[in-house]
Chains A and B, each alone.
Chain A
């Protein structure tokens, strides 16, 4: 590889990493707070992309789609948690089966409503061009994705460390039951957490659409598959873990696909295996206290 190509792939990798952060942060938050591995997270991501497609088709505004899709997914999450998940609290296998079921329903509804063709969503005006960068041109939109991911991580870090909501999240991730005994309505906290996780998946769906397209199968690849890999590598339930996992998996996947086209996915799973071997809680994961 020429140095220019390496540089360009590094940017691609970091841009993918930024997208993975947006995608995986919601999964990690829900797991950390509620002890639920939400296997519908990829379907939420997919639904976000399709909602964005419709919003852009009817209003022409990508930015409106960036608001509407997370909002729609947030409402869906806020309804689904008390309606379905709450009944299965603490029953992990049942939760896994339930969220797989939810994802099957969502994917099927998407097929009914939007069809099963491969669709595309153009980057918004102003971000649809390219800029000259060392030895070539580079799509502006991918730089935007990178900047957005960094800004979102920074904003989440401020909320996490400096606000009452962040305080409740940090406390709830460790011991939600105790938080309830101190007067916090954990039912509402869980519904809001699940809604936020779904909204982040929806946001990732909108942002990914101009890069990866909008098509059947996106719920598992990249949706669920990569978000699971990121949180397992980075560590479940922590913000810093989601950052670390994304920054590692994004570039590793990109270079893996360039260097070892035939076995690209194996590169990712080799990383997962290695991390789990050396540090079973993930790079920055917290050890959960069994109770």
Chain B
């Protein structure tokens, strides 16, 4: 392992004919938590999709812990140490909680395994045999995080983990992400919820029309009211 956990350079990606990513540059250092925010349609989810290998970039590069994985299939990117908590959770409905975890598990000595993630999410431990499609939205979100953790990643991608959750659960997600950050796991968090993004992210990136238009600490973002007004519609 060498270099940043994630380095994206000049990334261009299309969705059909639409030119969604128009030269995205971003970097996540080992153990660093970075939040990516912006309006709907700014290209946040496409950025995640291009990093995870769902969308093949048409230009630029994606480097993970020093390895060039531009255009690689999702499983190779996952095996390079990237785990994804996707938008909409994408829990396997016909698999139990235990199976959802088992299907992803990549055990390493002293790493995350089923018993450790169930300790982190006691609500899942009680529902271990329940099918994914019978879980509440909050439980599914916890399971999506648990499923990513048992990959024992070096970089965790999270796409709108607060989406559709009650404020109390958003609070809980924030708490867990802070704990994960403290373990030295690198995080790239895509969020609409500015509170969660600035709480978890040590750096905040603002995206607009397929490029990064602002990069700075949460304090620097708060000081620049015009950025918020122009790109976030707050």
Contact = CB atoms under 8 A, between A and B. Distances in A.
B168 interface: no
Interface string A155-178: 000000000100110110111011
B92 A177 contact: no
A134 B227 CA distance: 85
A168 B95 CA distance: 9
Contacts of A183: 75, 78-79, 104, 106, 151
Interface residues of B, number: 26
Contact of B86 (A171, A178, A185, A187): A178
A255 to B, nearest CB: 34
Contact of B52 (A174, A175, A181): A181
Contacts of A175: 90, 92
B84 A167 contact: no
B74 A181 contact: yes
Contacts, number: 67
B74 A180 contact: yes
B99 A182 contact: no
Contacts of A174: 92-94
Contact of B75 (A164, A170, A171, A180): A180
A152 B73 CA distance: 34
Interface residues of A, number: 19
Interface of chain A, main secondary structure? helix
B203 interface: no
A186 interface: yes
Nearest to B93: A174
A95 B104 CA distance: 30
B83 to A, nearest CB: 8
A265 to B, nearest CB: 35
A185 B90 contact: no
A180 B49 CA distance: 12
In the complex, which of the residues A168, A175, A183 has the most CB atoms of chain B within 10 Å of its own CB atom? A183
Contacts of B93: 174
B86 A184 contact: no
Given A171-B99, A178-B86, A181-B74, 5 more contacts: A164-B102, A171-B95, A171-B100, A175-B92, A179-B103
Interface of A: 164, 167-168, 170-171, 173-175, 177-187
